Amino acid sequence: MSYDRPLQATLLAALARPTPVIHVLTGPRQVGKTTIALRIREAIDLPTIYSTADSPVPLDAAWIETQWRRAVVEGASAKVPVVLILDELQKVRGWSETLKLLWDGRAAGPEVRVLILGSSALLMQEGLTESLAGRFFLHRCSHWGYKECHDAFGWTLEQWLYFGGYPGAVSFIDDEISWKRYIADSLIETVLARDVLQMSKVAKPVLLRHLFALAATLPAQSVSYTKMLGQLHDAGNTTTLAHYLKLLESAFLASGLELFSRGQQRKRGSSPKLVLWNNALVNALSTRSFTEALNDTIWWGRLVENAVGAHLCNSLNSVEYTVTYWRERHHEVDFVVSRGRDIRAIEVKSGRSGKTAGLTRFQSRYPDAKILLVGGQGIPLTDFFSRDAGAWLV
């Protein structure tokens, strides 16, 4: 199967012409970042140097300097611009400072066009904002959406809602036990062990894993920190749990959405709404089969709602948009998306009943808010998931 993600064409066009910035490609593991980079290397009509820092041996600034020197020499020899692609760069100690020195120290000679890749949003963002401010353009490579899975693999909406969007797992879906093992062992454990625990100071790694497992059992549900503390062994305090949720978010695994409140600071201690960024992360840890999940109305409703939340998290730039939820006593709105003063309340109609009063109460509190119904008599799920989430918020 050969399928080119739309982002590939965007990057290819950017690197094929002179560029004043470093291009940065960040996103989850196993969604095709490296594949995009390698296909750009094949397609672009320029010399290309590709190297990865995804090594068991820690690398340092000398590795970056060496790759840069290779690019300069190659460009001087060919007398044309050269493309330098550095994969998993966040694993190199002091990567951002070194790259800044090399970028700022460019002399007259062959142009070096740089593309760097990383699978940790937290570490990439820290390096970019601290050392490379004004020198980069960020491209987000998200989890595969419904349209991509439909176009590439012929999946139905139901298949995507259950199996999620990891292209490497497609060959296992006819054997669900093997599929679950692949997602759990090759994806979840790898991300936790290599992208979170090795990259961040985690005092209680077992707690981090248990917190993720708990989130996977409660998709699209708001859970108080007190309840989490009661279900997690050696949980410490709410500050620790909130920090670990941020780490899971930085690895594109799960988010704890905050309670919406305009005109005042949101309550950090409020019950977070747990959203997994890919439904595969939910179902791989569930005992339900595809058929059982499809026939369980309540559980399937959770999967649909989680998929909507994941679509918002994957599609919307966190600098421009804020994704939250709203609840007041027994009234709740599934998701609230804010962009400046604009507010959009999103209600997911997935077959579950008893969810009609929340929007009315929310509109009484925020009369200028716009309403978006997804599923049911609102936007058909196939239409909603086939477009970038931002297209529905204009």
CA angle 36-41-42, nearest 5°? 100
CB neighbours of residue 8 within 10 Å:
18
CA distances from 295 to 146, 158, 289, 315 (A): 21, 11, 10, 29
C-alpha dist (Å) from residue 364 to 144, 261, 357, 358, 368: 37, 14, 11, 10, 9
- As a whole number of Å, the end-to-end CA separation of the chain is 35
Give dist(CA 47, CA 336) in Å, integer.
46
How far is the C-alpha of 182 from the C-alpha of 289, rounded, in Å? 15
Give how far Cα 176 sits from Cα of 1, 158, 183, 293, Å. 21, 15, 10, 12
pLDDT of amino acid 123: 61
Using the CB atoms, write b or e for 232-268: b if 16+ within 10 Å. Answer: beebeeeebbbbbbebbbbbbbbbbbbbbeeeeeeee
Q: Compute the distance between CA of residue 379 and CA of residue 382 in angstroms, rounded to an integer.
A: 8
In terms of Cβ atoms closer than 10 Å to its own Cβ (0-12, 13-18, 19+), residue 223 is: middle
Predicted TM-score (pTM) of this structure? 0.90
Q: What are phi and psi of 213, to 5 degrees?
A: -60, -40
Please state the φ and ψ torsions of residue 276, each to the nearest 5 degrees: -85, 135
How far is it, in rounded angstroms, from Cα 322 to Cα 11? 26
Rounded distance, CA 325 to CA 272, Å? 9
Give domain 6-140's CATH superfamily.
Answer: P-loop containing nucleotide triphosphate hydrolases (3.40.50.300)
| Amino acid making up residue 85 | I
Tokens of 207: 């707690």
Tokens of 18: 């002179």
Query: What are the helix (H) ranges across the chain?
Result: 6-15, 33-43, 61-78, 95-104, 121-131, 146-153, 157-163, 176-182, 189-190, 205-217, 225-231, 238-250, 279-283, 290-295, 297-315, 357-365, 381-386
Write the DSSP symbol of residue 272: P
Indicate the domain borders of the chain: 6-140, 146-392
**Residue 91 CB contacts under 8 Å (≥ 6 apart), including other chains:** 53, 54, 55, 58, 59, 199
- Amino acid identity, position 246: K
The helix-helix angle for 121-131 and 95-104 (nearest 10°) equals: 40
Given this model, what pLDDT does residue 354 score?
46
Q: How many CB atoms lie within 10 A of CB 106?
A: 12
User: Chunked in runs of 10, what are the mean pLDDT values of the chain (394 residues)?
Assistant: 88 94 92 94 95 87 95 91 93 89 86 89 68 87 95 96 94 96 94 79 88 96 90 81 91 94 62 96 97 96 97 89 92 94 92 67 93 94 96 92
